[in-house]
């Protein structure tokens, strides 16, 4: 019951729908930043995995000699 009353305090639906524009813009901006960040992390991760694989192969070749 207390949680329901607390959440009601934060509900606000404006009559003028143009008030949603800044919120939508901000959400799109942060969403795009999140996608770009994930792509950047994946790109770096692939490079590091490739480097680790090359190092592993080099160590295997060195140990076989």
**What are the sequence ranges of the domains in the chain?**
24-65
Provide the CB-side half-sphere exposure for 64 (13 A, CA).
6
Q: 65 pLDDT exceeds 80? A: no
pLDDT (0 to 100) of residue 11: 73
Those residues whose C-beta lies under 8 Å from the C-beta of residue 20, and which sit 6 or more positions away, are 14
Tokens found for residue 4: 């329901």
For residue 37, the Cα-to-chain-centroid distance in whole angstroms is 6
Match 């305090």 to its residue by tokens. 9
Sign of CA dihedral 49, 55, 58, 60: negative
pLDDT digits (tens, 9 = 90+) for 6-21: 777 777 778 888 989 9
**Does the pLDDT of residue 1 top 70, yes or no?**
no
pLDDT per residue as tens digits for the range 5-61 = 677 777 777 888 898 999 999 999 999 999 999 999 999 999 999 999 999 999 998
pTM more than 0.75: no
């Amino acid at each position: 019951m207390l949680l329901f009353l607390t959440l009601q305090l934060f509900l606000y639906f404006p009559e003028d729908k143009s008030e949603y524009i800044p919120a939508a813009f901000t959400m799109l901006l942060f969403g795009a930043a999140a996608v770009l960040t994930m792509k950047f992390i994946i790109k770096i991760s692939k490079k590091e995995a490739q480097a680790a694989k090359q190092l592993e192969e080099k160590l295997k070749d060195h140990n076989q000699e």
